[in-house]
Structure 1
Amino acid sequence: MNPRRLWAIVLKELRQMRRDRITLAMIVGIPVMQLVLFGYAINLNLRHLDTAIADQANTSASRALVMDMVATGVITPTQRVDTPEQVMAALRRGEISIGVVIPADFERRHFEGREAVQVLVDGSDTVVQSAAVQLAQVPLDSAPVRNDRPLRTGAVAAAGQISVVAFYNPQRRSAINIVPGLIGIILTMTMVMFTAVAIVRERERGNMELLIATPLSSGELMVGKVLPYAAIGLLQTSLVLLLGLWLFDVPVRGSVLDVYAAAMLLITANLALGLLISTKAQSQFQAMQMTMFVFLPSILLSGFMFPFAGMPRPVQWLAEVLPLTHFLRLIRGIMLRGAWIWELWPEVLALLGFIAVMMTLAIVRFRKRLD
């Protein structure tokens, strides 16, 4: 082993890495990204969950109770509704995570020591369930309570009078929440990488020149390249659904057609993103490196691993750009809450907008490369 020749090889590799901007970005970017995301964006202590309030009593005592619940920081009222049915509809559509229902006879129930308030929770996320339990500890103020003892006034413990009711996953089984999300994770990882690598592979093997010589337009060539991967994505979706039902008894409470429609939206979005990456990558290795820059934020910020509501507001704005964020809301709403896809139209529009932008950029850049 000659130290001089060995040092020459080391210098050569260092200079090559310095010229390769993608590799240099991976060396610096991934540690920084993980440190910032885990240290700043990831928070399991949920606060300010979107909440609908149905205060049918509308008395000073009920309003004081709502203010005390808001003061805990766990909930933020975003909707004022009139009936429990409206609360459940908002839960099903994914507009809220928690609903508070105060009946018209709230003070009488409180006076008699019976259940006086219901907190309805979207239990598909077990972390939200745990956060909602804190609301059951809020004291009920300004009303006397009869408990086989002399009446007294002031703040009293809410023991048994504020009940927390979890829907869609009352058993708190983690698989119920994870398996639908895995469809999105698998499709994001495979679709982006397969498409990005496929175009670059044609260029590396010299096949791109042959394709350019054909009468195919840029759009026809790119769409034709990705259609087979769309079929693969639907096959992967079917496989996860069947295994989830067989191994973990994960329900599909909504329409199966809606499940496949949501999956097709994510597949198309990821294929368009993969095409855009392929117009920038110079090699298959670079394409895989750039895919990691997309996959890592997607898995951490979309709400799959960590609750979306626990992230700081600027991070939530960044996560809204990721197609996986909107797909998770769609697939969990359809499979776990039984929502129709048209009820979740903001997520559908977000994915359609992402597809339009990415596909347009990919076709424009690809045409420039052909020139």
Structure 2
Amino acid sequence: GGARLQLAQLPLARRAEGRPSSSVPLPAAPIGVVSFYNPQRVSAINIVPGLIGIILTMTMVMFTAVGIVRERERGNMELLIATPLGRAELMIGKVLPYGLIGLVQTSLILLLGLLLFAVPIRGSVLDVYWASLLLILANLSMGLLISTRAQSQFQAMQMTFFIFLPSILLSGFMFPFDGMPRPAQWIAEALPLTHFLRLIRGIMLRGAGLAELWPEVLALLGFIVLMMTLAIARFRKRLD
């Protein structure tokens, strides 16, 4: 009896040393995936924040991509040439009205997501608008760069699809980002929608702030500066 008591008090590892490994049954450890921020796995909670970025990318790039081209085709470029505005002032003037439209679109999507699908906003609403404004400016500046390259409105619209389709497929909206091949991830890092999805889902689903997500904020700011600089450098106030 005393030997049995001492054996019971020995650690499991020492008891396993005195017998063959095949005779020591190991308990099966259950493995499961835990969703901390969407435990019910409701698809709308994950899709609606990303839908903000999809709609803003589709509309903002399209609006400005045909902006300068439309001025040429309608003969309004002569009026712009006669104005004392510089290239940078003209570009900024083209961007600002569409920026307000983008914020209105963001408000409508948030309202519909809240009323129809009960999508939570766990972070600051102000941070949501700041993140959306960064994406709006990034898409508008990209559209302006396309507009300086295209020769017609139809060509400008075709060029926007080369941005829109990769943004949907590679940004993490449709497929998990970590599950994509490494070259596809490198391409996705150059797309503003990829960084916006990390921002908006971090803010709305887990209550993160912009300070916590500063790498994505810096990536979008850098993209805006680069695209606006290239668009201003390529734009010429002349008809040729």
- 1:157 maps to 2:28: yes
- 1:303 maps to 2:169: no
Any stretches of 5+ residues in structure 2 without a counterpart? 1-11, 16-22
Q: Secondary structure at the match of 2:34?
A: strand
Match of 1:55 in 2: none
Aligned 1:291-370 pairs, distance under 5 A: 291-367=160-236
Q: Do the aligned partners of 2:142 and 2:228 also contact (CA within 8 Å) in 1?
A: yes
Taking structure 1 as reference, are residues 166 and 366 closer, same or farther at Cα in structure 2, changes over 3 Å only? same
Q: Do the aligned partners of 1:143 and 1:153 also contact (CA within 8 Å) in 2?
A: no
Match of 1:277 in 2: 146
- Cα distance in 2 for partners of 1:195, 1:166 equals 39
| 1:257 paired residue among 116, 126, 129 | 126
Larger relative contact order (Cα-Cα within 8 Å, sequence gap ≥ 6): 2
Return the letter of the residue paired with 1:153.
V
Q: Secondary structure at the match of 2:35?
A: strand
Higher relative strand content: 1
- Cα distance in 1 for partners of 2:215, 2:49 equals 19
Match of 2:4 in 1: none
- Cα distance in 2 for partners of 1:304, 1:195 equals 23
Normalising by structure 1, what TM-score? 0.58
Return the letter of the residue paired with 1:156.
P
Alignment root-mean-square deviation, CA: 1.9
Taking structure 1 as reference, are residues 163 and 369 closer, same or farther at Cα in structure 2, changes over 3 Å only? same
| 1:168 paired residue among 14, 37, 42 | 37
Q: Secondary structure at the match of 2:28?
A: coil
- Cα distance in 2 for partners of 1:361, 1:166 equals 42
Q: Do the aligned partners of 1:187 and 1:233 also contact (CA within 8 Å) in 2?
A: yes
Match of 1:178 in 2: 47
- Deviation of 1:320 after TM superposition, in Å, equals 0.1
- Deviation of 1:367 after TM superposition, in Å, equals 3.0
Aligned 1:8-157 pairs, distance under 5 A: 153-157=24-28
- Cα distance in 2 for partners of 1:286, 1:324 equals 23
Q: Do the aligned partners of 1:168 and 1:336 also contact (CA within 8 Å) in 2?
A: yes
Q: Secondary structure at the match of 2:26?
A: coil
Match of 1:211 in 2: 80
- Deviation of 1:197 after TM superposition, in Å, equals 1.1
- Cα distance in 1 for partners of 2:158, 2:181 equals 27
Q: Secondary structure at the match of 1:194?
A: helix
**Between 165-174 and 262-271, the greater mean CA deviation after superposition:** 165-174
The alignment covers a number of residue pairs equal to 223
Identical counterparts, % of pairs: 80
Any stretches of 5+ residues in structure 1 without a counterpart? 1-110, 112-141, 145-151
Taking structure 1 as reference, are residues 263 and 276 closer, same or farther at Cα in structure 2, changes over 3 Å only? same
- Deviation of 1:163 after TM superposition, in Å, equals 5.8
Match of 1:226 in 2: 95
Normalising by structure 2, what TM-score? 0.88
- Cα distance in 1 for partners of 2:14, 2:24 equals 6
Q: Do the aligned partners of 1:143 and 1:154 also contact (CA within 8 Å) in 2?
A: no
- Cα distance in 2 for partners of 1:280, 1:337 equals 40
Match of 1:96 in 2: none
Match of 1:24 in 2: none
